[in-house]
Amino acid sequence: METAIASGRFVITAEITPPVSCSPDELLAKATPLKGLADAVNVTDGAGARAHLGAMAAATILHQNGIEPVLQLTCRDRNRLALQSDLLGAAALGIHNLLVLRGDDPSAGDQPDAKPVFDLDSGALIETAVRIRDRGTLPSGRKVTGKADFFVGAADMPIDPPPD
């Protein structure tokens, strides 16, 4: 996707919510019609503060089936150690496109008693991914071996200022 964007051509991505399923076939039934239409397919990470097939697993399944994934990583459910491990895992699995998000508050989902983590905010998670990619280190300074060719994105929700 990074190459497509850098080329200056119009790029299309599509977003799918992984199914509430243990079957990769259900995910592929949603994603395969997008193959050839979308340049990449975003897989959500607990969209709507609800449990679904994990985003990392979904991105890997898409990658293995010739569909370029965009892995969404939210700060809501994992502390910094787990998020750093997920970044290393994504790199090891060949997943390069990341969309870093805050994540919906659990009170909006179907299990409102779930505890949010928010150990990092999205800016800190972006900094962590970029540090792993560019410096080959974790925030603690520990060396990361191998290569993480992350293409990191974020979302913004622009709003009009209040009238006053």
pTM (predicted TM-score): 0.93
Choosing among 2.60.120.460, 3.20.20.220, 3.20.80.10, 3.40.50.300, the CATH entry for 2-7+36-154 is 3.20.20.220
- How far apart are the C-alpha atoms of 110 and 48, rounded to whole Å? 9
Per-residue confidence band for 161, with pLDDT thresholds at 50, 70 and 90:
confident
pLDDT digits (tens, 9 = 90+) for 130-143: 999 999 999 999 99
63: CB partners within 8 A, 6+ apart: 69, 93, 94, 95
pLDDT value for 160: 72
For residue 19, pLDDT beyond 80: yes
Kindly report the average pLDDT of the chain as a whole number: 96
pLDDT value for 158: 77
Instruction: Give the chain's length.
Output: 164
Pinpoint the alpha helices (H) of 7-121: 24-31, 55-64, 80-92
pLDDT digits (tens, 9 = 90+) for 110-125: 999 999 999 999 999 9
- Which two tokens mark 48? 């709507």
pLDDT value for 157: 75
Yes or no: say if 150 and 106 are a contact pair by the CB < 8 Å rule.
no
